[in-house]
Amino acid sequence: MEKLSFVGKSLPRKDALIKATGRAQYAADRDFAGMLHAAAVRSPRPRIKILSISDKAARRVPGYVTLVTYKDIKGVNKWPVVMQDYPFLPQGEARFAGETVALVVADSARAAKKAAALVEIKYKELPSVADPLKALEKGSVKIYGKDNIVSSFVIKKGAVDKAFEKAAFTVEGEFSTNYQVHAYLETQGAVAVPEADGGMTVHSSTQCPFYVLDAVAAALALPYHKVKILQTVTGGGFGGKEDVPALVASHAALCAAKTGRPVKLIYGRKEDFQSMSKRHPGWARVAYAADKNGRITACRVKYVLDGGAYSTLSPIVLWRGTVHAAGPYKIANVDIQTYAAATNKVPCGAFRGFGQPQICFAQESLIDELAEKVGVDPVQFRLNNLLAPGDKTITGQKLNSSCGLKEVVQAVKRRSGWDKKVLSPKRQGDVVTGIGFSATYYGVGLGAKGRYLDRAGAFVNVYKDSSVTVNVGNTEMGQGALTVLAQITAETLNAPYDSVRVEEVDSSKVPDSGPTVASRTTLMSGNAIIEAATPIRERVFKTAYDMLIAEGADASKPMLAAGGLFSMGGKVVDFKKVAAGCWDRRQKMSEQGWYAAPRTTFKMEDGQGDAYVIYSYSADAAEVEVDLRTGVAKVKKIWAAYDVGKIVNPRLAMGQAQGGILQGMSWAMFENLVYKNGIMVNPNFTDYVIATTADKPEYDIIFIEKPYAEGPYKAKGMGEVPLIGVAPAVANAIKNACGARVRSVPLLPEKIWNEIKKG
């Protein structure tokens, strides 16, 4: 057993005190002398031709300063994210209701908002399309390219048609999922501050400061060394602060550049709903075939995401869904075709799970139907078909290491009392209780589609007083990154945990480390920190050894290093004294580290090859009660097991698991964003319902640690895994309880009630 002092321990969060006491400085808390405020002027309709924009009425508002339009953009009017089709500010056409078409600057936030409401947009409404499936039809209004297809992928393996012809059992079904709003507590915001040399410093609430750097430099036509991005304390992200903060920050920077003064831009909740990214709505037709022994022989999938008006991150979100579309099973014959369709609605982007929860809901619901047809218990059916070490995924990737899929499934089956509960759903009057199951796997990191971004840098500096600072390019947004990365640093250096401080990101101090997404922070930044800290560690350990010898330690005994102390033969020195000794010797006590994910072999032409470097695994069982009179369902308990490699901080991992489960359950049961005629009708927390603590199920969560040799202290990735399998487990439980198979998320009472009445 490897003896560790800090990794694997539930050490306190580094940012707990400032957040608990209200001292944390969010974007809205930043103030500067002479600061102005900005507010957005937004498109009123799904698609318009802009004829003119007038601030004549707005100029009468006391405190009004100026109007900013596309004419004030000195650089190229294309936001540099993936496909670069989204203008910073539209010149001739706005493509969704809520799109920012101009910005008003005033001396107060209230004046800016009042003036923005008075800006007159003269426009001609253009034909629009709201349904992604209709957008793909030949006769549809064309809003994107020749066919409204933002992106598409295929995975082809074996002979699918023949496998279906020979199959003893087949199932097919259509499933759909709705938007999910990130519901972060802190809305989008940024403060841009002009510098004396013509540069720009931006304080941004963001998951990816380097996307912000790219965008601000492009909009202002500035070289990168004249743009600095400082991440403020970020009040939640979940993917919603990956790409779009770059747009918000660019708007603030354009206003600051025009006025020559600091400008703050903070979104209200309604406009955050209307204009910022969401989880993509999804539609899927899935079919499975199995032989007489109940082995899955083939899978056919057509999967469509509603990308909204601009591409943003849709190509990468779609690709992850594509790779995982058949589920965590051994399947020799596969035909998967996926599309992201353009519509005149809010552009969609990253959300915890990143295109996988939508297709997981479809395929894990259908797996239950296939098991029923075969006549095998749903969990046993999964166990008979699950991927195991040595097996190949649908992309032909061989799973060589760190695969605890069967163990997590078996653990949840055992802990939930599955065998008894699934056969005899409880009934008390009109309330019935059932149980459902799901199993998933998750490619850690950005994978083959995002490999050019899959890198991370770190800078580790040990001061004369033995305190340690760490700069990385991945961000803290509530998930505990500052804490976990401090534990990894402390472990590597044998420095006291309390002496280590991980800074929020400053783009001038660390190289572009890609986005903080895809459960990659622990793996990527952790490895970069280890590379940076290792040469310092060697100097520290050599100095400690010399100091112990000088104090008369027995050199025949091994030197032990643990908990910030170095000991040998009855003598002890602490890290503080050793660090001072290193400085006395004029040794280098700061280093940079870099980690790039190993190259993958995936080919876009046929979807074959290694898609990700490593996978994490999960299993969920949900116990749900359903009122047969009303269709109202309540999730009573969730059992879950995860293989995410070594757990660096058990308490934080448990928090991630509980939060992910509740967020997945909320999407499954409640969250219902409604569009009518291209207009969002419920952009608020009154009418868009999310789960609260009152809806929280009982949790039974365990971790099965399958070490990943290439991970920092054998860790993989955790953040997104707990959400992915919740919705199908809940849907399967509803089916077990009352026979109602609901094929669309959210699983609203009226949908359940209608299915009960049919059955």
DSSP 717: -
Is residue 510 helix, strand or coil?
coil
| Cβ-based neighbours of 157, under 8 Å, separated by 6 or more | 332, 333, 334, 394, 395, 396, 606, 607, 608
Residue 690 class from Cβ within 10 Å (0-12 exposed, 13-18 middle, 19+ buried)? middle
CA atoms within 13 A on the CB side of 719: 25
Query: pTM score, two decimals?
Result: 0.97
Q: What pLDDT, on the 0 to 100 scale, is given for residue 620?
A: 98
355 pLDDT above the threshold of 90:
yes
268 occurs within a structural domain: yes
Q: What pLDDT, on the 0 to 100 scale, is given for residue 519?
A: 73
Residues of the domain holding 197: 31-126+182-275
DSSP H or E segment with residue 590: strand 590-596
366 occurs within a structural domain: no
Q: What pLDDT, on the 0 to 100 scale, is given for residue 431?
A: 98
CB 353 within 8 A of CB 720: yes
One-character DSSP codes across 135-149: HTSTTS---STTTSE
Average pLDDT over residues 707-735: 96
651 occurs within a structural domain: no
Q: What pLDDT, on the 0 to 100 scale, is given for residue 449?
A: 85
566 occurs within a structural domain: yes
Q: What pLDDT, on the 0 to 100 scale, is given for residue 452?
A: 77
CB 700 within 8 A of CB 639: yes
- Please give the backbone phi and psi of residue 722, each rounded to the nearest 5 degrees, phi first: -65, -25
Strand order in the sheet with 571-574: 560-562, 565-568, 571-574
pLDDT per residue over 5-48, tens digit each? 999 999 999 999 999 999 999 999 999 999 999 999 999 999 99
Query: Percent of the chain, pLDDT > 90?
Result: 95
| Cβ-based neighbours of 18, under 8 Å, separated by 6 or more | 24, 233
Rounded to the nearest 10 degrees, what angle do helices 245-259 and 209-220 cross at?
A: 40
99 occurs within a structural domain: yes
Is residue 515 helix, strand or coil?
coil
Residue of 3, 6, 4 whose CA lies nearest to 499: 6
Domain C-terminal end among 275, 295, 327: 275
pLDDT, mean over the chain: 96
Residue of 726, 639, 621, 635 whose CA lies nearest to 433: 635
Residue of 378, 217, 224, 347 whose CA lies nearest to 736: 378
DSSP 450: G
Rounded to the nearest 10 degrees, what angle do helices 356-374 and 314-323 cross at?
A: 20
Q: What pLDDT, on the 0 to 100 scale, is given for residue 210?
A: 96
CB 610 within 8 A of CB 448: yes
Number of residues that make up the chain: 759
Q: What pLDDT, on the 0 to 100 scale, is given for residue 226?
A: 98
CA atoms within 13 A on the CB side of 299: 36
314 pLDDT above the threshold of 90:
yes
d(CA 704, CA 712): 17
pLDDT per residue over 467-493, tens digit each? 999 999 999 998 999 999 999 999 999
Domain C-terminal end among 579, 596, 613: 596
pLDDT per residue over 422-468, tens digit each? 998 999 999 999 999 999 999 998 888 887 788 999 999 999 999 99
Distances from the Cα of 62 to the Cα of 54, 120, 273, 665, 669, angstroms: 17, 18, 28, 47, 47
37 occurs within a structural domain: yes
Bridge partner residues of 390 (DSSP): none
Is residue 96 helix, strand or coil?
coil
Q: What pLDDT, on the 0 to 100 scale, is given for residue 514?
A: 85
731 occurs within a structural domain: no
706 CB neighbour count, 10 Å cutoff: 21
CB 539 within 8 A of CB 483: no
2 pLDDT above the threshold of 90:
no
Domain count along the chain = 2
CB 638 within 8 A of CB 622: yes
pLDDT per residue over 477-533, tens digit each? 989 999 999 999 999 999 999 999 999 999 999 999 888 776 788 999 999 999 999
Residue 580 confidence class, pLDDT cut points 50, 70, 90: very high
DSSP 29: G
Bridge partner residues of 189 (DSSP): 266
d(CA 659, CA 654): 8
- Token representation of residue 328: 């965590």
d(CA 463, CA 43): 52
Binning the chain into helix, strand and coil, the percentages to the nearest 5 are: 30, 25, 40
Q: What pLDDT, on the 0 to 100 scale, is given for residue 14?
A: 96
Q: What is the CATH number of the domain that holds 528?
A: 3.30.365.10
d(CA 613, CA 447): 7
Domain C-terminal end among 573, 596, 619: 596
249 occurs within a structural domain: yes
pLDDT per residue over 269-278, tens digit each? 999 999 999 9
327 pLDDT above the threshold of 50:
yes
CB 450 within 8 A of CB 599: no
Q: What pLDDT, on the 0 to 100 scale, is given for residue 1?
A: 44
Query: Percent of the chain, pLDDT > 70?
Result: 100
